[in-house]
Amino acid sequence: MKIRPAEYRDLPAINEIGNQAILDEFKTARKTEISEKEREFWFKDCDRNKYSIFVAEDESNIVGWVALNPYRKGRESLEESAILSYFVHYKHHSKGIGTTLIKHLLEHTHTSIRVIFAIIIDGNEASIKLLNKFNFQEWARLPQVYKSNGEIKDQLYLGKIIR
């Protein structure tokens, strides 16, 4: 498996993998799939001099991706904070791909980023366990803010100060 910076040609695979999580309830707060245009805008809008998008490639197939995005873009006092997102193709779960992606991202995070956190739906134990491997801690719990198909859950902020 190879980890490399994402390229424009990877967007269909990135979008497919991200949309798997949307269709599988309790992995993300979105309910509708991200369109190819939305994903393209996200990719083009990413300042890759500061924020990273990496893909995991296995035999020329994208099997997962990880990204850092600005937290509250345009708010200068928050510029040292970034939100972590990661997704692994469902056919490739439990193979260590998420671990490899996050490890790579943390090793290659721009020096201007001091704080990284992820927003997780309570009950997503695989993500919580993965982040705990890297010493992310629960920083906040927003009670009962998530509602889908009649089920109410908390939203968790797991964070880490890296510098």
**What is the structure's pLDDT at 34?**
92
Q: For position 26, what pLDDT does the model report? A: 63
Walking along the chain (163 residues) 10 residues at a time, the average pLDDT comes out as 96 95 78 92 90 95 97 94 96 96 96 96 94 98 93 96 94
What is the reported pTM? 0.93
Residue with tokens 């993500």: 127
Question: What ranges do the domains of the chain cover?
Answer: 2-119
pLDDT of residue 48: 84
CATH class held by domain 2-119:
alpha beta
Q: Residue 16 burial by CB count (10 A; 0-12/13-18/19+): exposed, middle or buried?
A: middle
Query: Do residues 110 and 127 touch, judged by C-beta distance below 8 A?
Result: no
Q: What is the pLDDT of residue 28?
A: 81
Closest CA to 18 of 64, 82, 54: 64
Number of H helices, E strands in the chain: 4, 7
